[in-house]
Structures are given as structure tokens and as C-alpha cells.
Amino acid sequence: MRLLAALVGFALCLAGGAAADQTDPALDGLFARLQATQSQREARALESLIWERWLAAEDDDVRLLLLRGIAHMQRGELDRALAAFDAVVERAPGFAEGWNKRATVYFLLDDYASSVADIERTLALEPRHFGALSGLGQIYLGLDDKRRALKAFEAALGIDPHLEAVRAAVARLRKELEGDPT
């Protein structure tokens, strides 16, 4: 969580009020490099650059609400975080990361249905959101739906092949599902 806060701060410094978010044209090149690199170190740096763009918002009020929500989440103040992210998605319904952050809070509140709905909205706005896909896999694990979890995790790896924890989950799920006729 501290890393996320540091990334948000860094992103806001770099963004300097410029529009970015999931519509940033630089994302295409970053995703292409992420697919091509063989270096885990470079992959981590590219993931950070992608998150910076995803976390950027053109509107100063939305940026402030997003930061406030993240801070509340870090302190375990989930009701306050939810209220902040509610305001983000209301004010900026086209901002994918607002939906993703709210999905995270819903997940932490064990409200899987609401989390899935917000993940779907995130993915409609940013189909390459490997974080949302990884979260979707976690939800399906929580629901003991291993096939759907595997599908979500594999989709995340298709976008970012360097997600080691996701890769491990895929290997484990494949092994568990081996020989299962359903």
C-alpha cells in the first residue's frame, strides 16, 4: 500500500494537471514494451509507468478525491474510502481507475457482486487493466469458482506476462482442475 501511495504521489507530480488516465496515448507503447521485455526489472518499471497514467486524472477535484480514498483505504477506513470513490465515479464516470479503486473497496468489504460490477466497468473503459483482471480472479477464488478465476488470471497474464503471483495462481489452478470434467 505504501508503494501505491508513493506511485500516486509520483504520478501526480509528473502529471502536473495534464490529462492522462487510461486514454493516455503513451500507454500503447508501454504495453508493447511490457509484452516484449524479458527483464523483470524493466517490467516492474513499465508497470509503474502504466499505473502512473491510470492514476492520473485531469480534474483536480477528482485527483484529490482519489488520493483521499486511497489514504482512507490504507488506514482501513473502508466506509470513508467507499464514499470518496463513489464521488470519483460520480464526478468522472469515464475514469477507469475510479471504478477500479471502488471495486477494491467492495472486495475488501466482501461485496463481491458490487466489486465484479465495478471491475466490468473498469474493463469496459480500459480492457488492458491487468490489476482489475487480477482482482476479478481473486473474487472468483473467494467464490470458489476456480474455472472463472483461472480465466481471469490468464487474461491478466495475456496483458502482463510478468505477474509472478498470478502466474503461480494459474499453475496451481491448472493443477487443481486437471482431470476435472466440469
Q: State whether residue 127 is helix, strand or coil.
A: coil
Q: What is the mean pLDDT of residues 114-121?
A: 98
Residues of the chain by 3-state class (helix, strand, coil), percent to 5: 75, 0, 25
pLDDT of residue 1: 38
First to last CA, the chain: 38
DSSP state of 144: T
Closest-CA residue to 162 (of 5, 34, 17, 13)? 34
Rounded to the nearest angstrom, the gap between the alpha carbon of residue 48 and the centroid of all alpha carbons in its chain is 12
Going by pLDDT thresholds of 50, 70 and 90, the confidence category of residue 25 is confident
pLDDT of residue 90: 98
Indicate the pTM of the whole model.
Answer: 0.86
Spatial distance between the Cα atoms of 114 and 100, rounded to a whole number of angstroms: 11
Q: What are the structural domains of the chain?
A: 1-12+28-56 (no CATH), 60-111 (1.25.40.10), 128-182 (1.25.40)
157 vs 11, more confident: 157
DSSP state of 20: -
